């Protein structure tokens, strides 16, 4: 019996010993975390499940964590932009590979003056995947948004290097107060982000609805784009070097007539014009000194671009830093390289934790932009426009044996010029030589900019739930524009007596110079409270903001410079009788108070409320204050018990928002009278409006977010109605008041409504990983109200009136070409039309074509837009493809009107070869003629469908692994292509440009780039 008791006691002791060791022993786990390309990920948070026991990976992706006894023996790995992973950890080594996801619900999103998890958003927020954006290889940050976010339309003003980018969020909502969104970079508001280096950006979010944007009040009516730049990572030093180099070429150029075709066609035009006598072009065709110049081929050359970027980041628990520098240079596609653009960027971002409660930091961007500008929109002198107009019979250069030839000006000008006056062949149109225009172009534009902020944040209370943050932002820029107008061309005998013998272009020579500076300061103070009470989570914010802006500019110009060497291209060397100068200054201020509350219960029910009160100096005392409230609610249905175990539905959330936003983008001092002194009397030249007030945009948004199959398939749908009221219009006063300029009145209303759909699928289950992201948005724009005295706003080619969209094309409707005189006589009464002339619709049926027969013939606002982003990777290879397009948009191709249908002997496109030449030959292209064939009337003949789909970007890369022993984390080689393919019915150079009228726009170019990215 005693023996049995001893055995029993021994077994109990052994059991207790084993369980005791198990209870008190601690397990040490180590491992490495890598990305999908097997590259180490620094800064990954590794947490023991159901505890606060955590660590983070170092610069090599390595972690070490000692597990707490008595808790779950599992680890969770979290990293922003990557899907979370959980692994069992019973000891030893646990290596993990994380997969990036653009739809991670745990991602932190910057909205307003706070942050939220993506899963908790109540408003319509577009989130850009910066990993995809960095592969665009474009100089302007705005370009990376193109085709990426539903409801956001991005177009380039032209394809010229350095020209601005146009962004519209949910359509055009106003007339003259500006439709561009507000940009907020590291908490500092601005109207321009062209100076920001794309590689410096950590996140970019678009606030589209009233709830998400209302916190920005009077500047948020057109949406808000929030940009956060990169910061250093604790215990992770990283150096990133990126370089790429490539070429650009013009594509989709129309085919112009050669010399033989051109002479035949203008001979035909002369014969169709009813002239008597011998056709002069018969003799011209017999000349032996005719050239056969392809002016487009002479003008467009291969452009070149190169970019070098380097960044360094890292830090300790106390101080984190991010430093970067970049150089961008692009030579355009126009001959002689007078369309260059260069930009230098430097950024130091530093954050210091002075105590466990006090944090200070600074984010700074210094940039210097240099642009050689030329006439990129068909504006004077119209370099590209003249390449279309110039007859092919004229050569580019004069012969050195020509008595009018000079080495300084070897270019042809007037057709077959012999000497001063009218001694040139006037059978050909005297267009300007585009190659000479490009050669003598000398328009230098420099912009130096300092942008950034310094901030301090202090946390109060036991658990640091209350944080006060103060930020002072600066946006300082210095502008210097200098254009020297060199005199050149042939002497046609014109000009003043002082300019006898000079060429006809830039007669006399001159210099225009402008300098300006602008300083905008922003002082923002916020108090933010965040607390979780069981299942209740609350975030409350109050704040104030004061913005002050002042801009100064001076300008001067002189003419008749005796010396044109660059060393003498200064104002002092110009002629004294031709001195002009000017100067101006303007300033405004904006003071704001704002507050927001975010509440959620159990991660299922969400409520957000915002209000902002703005006081702007741009308005009179009667209406300086504007108030902009909003409210939003959301229900995560997938959080309910009845969907908890659903294997298909991972996330299902219904959202609804409503609120109002403002627009203060009007001229300064519009509320004041403008007075001029004439002699000894003062006269009012414009009456101010002391009751002028804010334009207000109210917006309703209903949204649905769906995540399926563990969020591998994500769908987001938003429907919005956006009404902008009290739109400011310049209204002319009755004549009996006097000759005064229009005054601003709040009078109009515009509605935009549409549907936005975003769809994404990611599959990372196999060696071949791929993803598809697509977005689609519709837009309907309708004018709801105008001023009673102005039932419509009409230009030479557009009209705005109630019931139609803004600036809709308005003109005559071409229905064919008159084939015979009998057809003309039966259709019109007393008409001078001839067979081969354009046949217009007689809308009122009075058998005459007058302005009463004009109608709406096109719309310059797209009906829908879309983007498709494809990406995939296999082992070291990765591929990214972006398609982007718009549908239902029209453009006035004015260049088409002047080259194919003008009454002057310009060149034609080959489309003119199919013009009417007798009954039954054509019902779409009228006869060529030097008299009016109806083409002088603005009609749908020139309004073309500018819808397109474009392969915006393709990038193929390969990453080399196994270089850690050399101190290199990753080396990636890549080749990138831009604008590789376009499908469109538009016959102009580029359907994508923003202008409603195309006078001969600098086209976007096709680019091939080769690059390397090295990370240490």
Average pLDDT rounded to a whole number, residues 852-857 = 96
**Cα 273 to Cα 834: distance, rounded to the nearest angstrom:** 10
Stretch among 95-104, 143-152, 389-398 having the lowest mean pLDDT:
95-104
**Cα 838 to Cα 819: distance, rounded to the nearest angstrom:** 10
Q: What is the pLDDT of residue 693?
A: 87
* Dihedral sign computed on CA atoms, order 109, 114, 119, 123: negative
Question: Would you say residue 888 lies in a domain?
Answer: no
Phi and psi torsions of 382, nearest 5°: 65, 60
**Which of the 8 DSSP states describes residue 198?**
G
In which band, very low, low, confident or very high, does the pLDDT at 5 lie, cut at 50, 70 and 90? very low
Q: How far apart are the first and last CA of the chain?
A: 73
Q: Is the peptide bond preceding residue 342 cis, with omega within 30 degrees of 0?
A: no
Q: What is the pLDDT of residue 736?
A: 75
What residues make up the domain containing 81? Answer: 23-97
Structural domain tally of the chain?
Answer: 1
Question: Would you say residue 179 lies in a domain?
Answer: no
- How many Cα atoms occupy the beta-carbon half-sphere of 722 within 13 Å? 29
Q: What is the pLDDT of residues 632-667, one digit of tens each?
A: 999 999 888 888 778 888 889 999 999 999 888 778
Average pLDDT rounded to a whole number, residues 502-528 = 96
Position 21 pLDDT exceeds 60 = no
Q: What global pTM score does this model have?
A: 0.86
Question: Would you say residue 454 lies in a domain?
Answer: no
Q: What is the pLDDT of residues 204-262, one digit of tens each?
A: 999 999 888 888 887 888 999 999 999 998 888 999 999 999 999 999 899 999 999 99
Average pLDDT rounded to a whole number, residues 179-183 = 89
Question: Would you say residue 624 lies in a domain?
Answer: no
Helix (H, G, I), strand (E, B) or coil at 897: helix
Chain length of the chain: 1016
918-942 b/e with 16+ CB inside 10 Å = b? Answer: eeeebeebbbbbbebbbbebbbbbb
Q: What is the pLDDT of residues 258-315, one digit of tens each?
A: 999 999 999 999 999 999 999 999 999 999 999 999 999 999 999 999 999 999 999 9
Q: What is the pLDDT of residue 177?
A: 63
Question: Would you say residue 395 lies in a domain?
Answer: no
Question: Would you say residue 37 lies in a domain?
Answer: yes
Domain with 47 in it: what CATH number? 2.60.40.1120
User: Quick one: 183 exposed, middle or buried, by C-beta within 10 A (0-12, 13-18, 19+)?
Assistant: buried
Question: Would you say residue 92 lies in a domain?
Answer: yes
Question: Would you say residue 93 lies in a domain?
Answer: yes
Yes or no: say if 316 and 234 are a contact pair by the CB < 8 Å rule: yes
Helix (H, G, I), strand (E, B) or coil at 786: coil
Average pLDDT rounded to a whole number, residues 654-681 = 87
Yes or no: say if 675 and 708 are a contact pair by the CB < 8 Å rule: no
């Amino acid at each position: 019996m005693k023996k049995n008791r001893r055995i029993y006691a021994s077994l109990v002791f052994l059991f207790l010993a084993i369980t005791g060791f198990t209870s008190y022993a601690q397990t040490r786990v180590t491992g490495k975390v890598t990305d999908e390309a097997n590259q180490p990920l620094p800064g990954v948070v590794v947490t023991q499940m159901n505890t606060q026991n955590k660590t983070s990976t170092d610069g090599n992706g390595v972690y070490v964590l000692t597990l707490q006894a008595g808790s779950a023996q599992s680890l969770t790995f979290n990293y922003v932009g990557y899907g979370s992973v959980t692994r069992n950890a019973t000891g030893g080594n646990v290596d993990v590979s994380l997969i990036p996801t653009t739809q991670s619900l745990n991602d932190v999103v910057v909205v307003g003056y706070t942050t939220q998890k993506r899963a908790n958003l109540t408003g319509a927020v577009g989130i850009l995947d910066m990993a995809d954006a960095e592969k665009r290889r474009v100089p302007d940050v705005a370009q990376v948004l193109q085709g990426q976010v539903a409801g956001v339309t991005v177009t380039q003003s032209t394809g010229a290097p350095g020209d601005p980018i146009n962004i519209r969020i949910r359509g055009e909502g106003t007339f003259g107060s500006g439709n561009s969104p507000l940009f907020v970079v590291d908490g500092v508001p601005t109207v321009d982000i062209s100076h920001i280096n794309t590689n410096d950006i950590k996140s970019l979010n678009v606030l589209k609805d009233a709830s998400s944007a209302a916190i920005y009040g009077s500047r948020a009516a057109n949406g808000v784009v929030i940009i956060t730049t990169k910061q250093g990572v604790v215990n992770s030093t990283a150096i990133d070097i990126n370089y790429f180099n490539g070429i650009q070429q013009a594509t989709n150029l129309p085919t112009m007539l050669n010399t033989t075709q051109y002479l035949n066609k203008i001979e035909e035009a002369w014969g169709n014009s009813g002239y008597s006598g011998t056709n002069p072009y018969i003799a011209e065709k017999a000349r032996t000194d005719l050239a056969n110049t392809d002016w487009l081929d002479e003008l467009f050359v291969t452009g070149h671009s190169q970019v070098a970027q380097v960044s360094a980041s890292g830090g300790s628990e106390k101080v984190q830093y991010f430093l970067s520098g970049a150089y961008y240079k692009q030579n355009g596609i126009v001959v002689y390289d007078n369309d260059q653009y260069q930009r230098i960027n430097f950024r130091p971002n530093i954050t210091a934790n002075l105590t466990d409660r006090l944090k200070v930091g600074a984010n700074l961007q210094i940039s210097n932009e240099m642009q050689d500008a030329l006439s990129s929109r068909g504006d004077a002198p119209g370099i590209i426009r003249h390449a279309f107009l110039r007859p092919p019979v004229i050569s580019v250069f004069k012969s050195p044996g020509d008595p009018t030839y000079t080495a300084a000006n070897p270019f042809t000008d007037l057709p077959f010029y012999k000497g001063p006056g009218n001694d040139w062949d006037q059978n050909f149109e005297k267009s300007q030589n585009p190659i000479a225009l490009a050669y003598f172009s000398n328009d230098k534009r420099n912009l130096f900019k300092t942008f950034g902020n310094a901030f301090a944040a202090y946390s109060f209370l036991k658990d640091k739930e209350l944080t006060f943050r103060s930020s002072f932002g600066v946006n300082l820029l210095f502008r210097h524009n200098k254009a020297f107008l060199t005199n050149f061309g042939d002497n046609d005998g014109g000009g003043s007596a002082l300019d006898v013998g000079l060429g006809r272009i830039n007669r006399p020579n001159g210099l225009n110079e402008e300098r300006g500076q602008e300083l905008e300061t922003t002082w923002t103070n916020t108090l933010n409270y965040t607390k979780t009470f069981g299942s209740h989570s609350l975030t409350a914010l109050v704040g104030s903001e004061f913005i002050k802006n002042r801009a100064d500019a001076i300008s001067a110009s002189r003419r008749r410079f005796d010396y044109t060497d660059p060393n003498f291209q200064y104002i002092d060397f110009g002629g004294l009788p031709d001195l002009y100068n000017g100067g101006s200054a303007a300033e405004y201020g904006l003071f704001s108070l704002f507050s927001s509350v975010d509440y959620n219960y159990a991660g299922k029910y969400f409520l957000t409320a915002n209000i902002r009160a703005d006081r702007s100096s741009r308005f009179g005392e009667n209406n300086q204050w504007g108030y902009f409230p909003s409210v939003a609610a959301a229900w995560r249905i997938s959080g309910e018990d009845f969907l908890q175990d659903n294997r298909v539905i991972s996330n299902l959330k219904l959202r609804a928002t409503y609120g109002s936003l403002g627009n203060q983008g009007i001229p300064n001092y519009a509320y004041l009278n403008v007075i001029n002194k004439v002699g000894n009397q003062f006269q009012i030249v414009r009456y101010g409006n002391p009751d002028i007030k804010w334009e207000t945009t109210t917006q309703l948004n209903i949204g649905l977010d769906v995540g399926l199959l563990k969020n591998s398939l994500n769908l987001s749908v938003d429907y919005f109605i956006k009404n902008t009221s009290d739109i400011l219009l310049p209204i002319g006063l009755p004549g009996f008041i006097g000759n005064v300029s229009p005054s601003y009145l709040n009078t109009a209303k515009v509605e935009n409504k549409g549907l936005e759909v975003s769809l994404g699928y990611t599959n990372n289950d196999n060696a071949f990983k791929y993803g598809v992201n697509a977005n689609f948005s519709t837009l309907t724009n309708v004018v709801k109200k105008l001023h009673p005295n102005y039932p419509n706003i009409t230009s030479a080619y557009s009209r705005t009136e109630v019931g139609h969209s803004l600036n809709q094309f308005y003109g005559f409707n071409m229905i064919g070409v008159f084939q015979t005189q009998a057809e003309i006589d039966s259709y019109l009464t007393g008409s001078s039309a001839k067979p081969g002339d354009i046949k217009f619709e007689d809308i009122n049926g009075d058998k005459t074509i007058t302005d009463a027969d004009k109608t709406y013939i096109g719309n310059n606002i797209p009906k829908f837009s879309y983007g498709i982003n494809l990406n995939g990777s296999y082992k070291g290879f990765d591929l990214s493809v972006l398609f982007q397009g718009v549908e239902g948009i029209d453009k006035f191709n004015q260049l088409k009107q002047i080259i194919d249908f003008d009454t002057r002997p310009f060149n034609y496109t080959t489309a003119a070869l199919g013009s009417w030449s007798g009954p039954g030959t054509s019902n779409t292209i009228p006869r060529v003629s030097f008299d009016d064939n109806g083409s002088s009337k603005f009609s749908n003949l020139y309004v073309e469908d500018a819808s397109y789909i474009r392969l915006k970007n393709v990038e193929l890369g390969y990453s080399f692994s196994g270089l850690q022993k050399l101190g290199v984390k990753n080396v990636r080689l890549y080749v990138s292509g831009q604008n590789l393919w376009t499908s469109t019915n538009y016959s102009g150079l580029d359907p994508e440009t923003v202008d409603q009228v195309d006078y001969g726009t600098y086209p976007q170019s096709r680019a091939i780039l080769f690059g390397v990215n090295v990370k240490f």
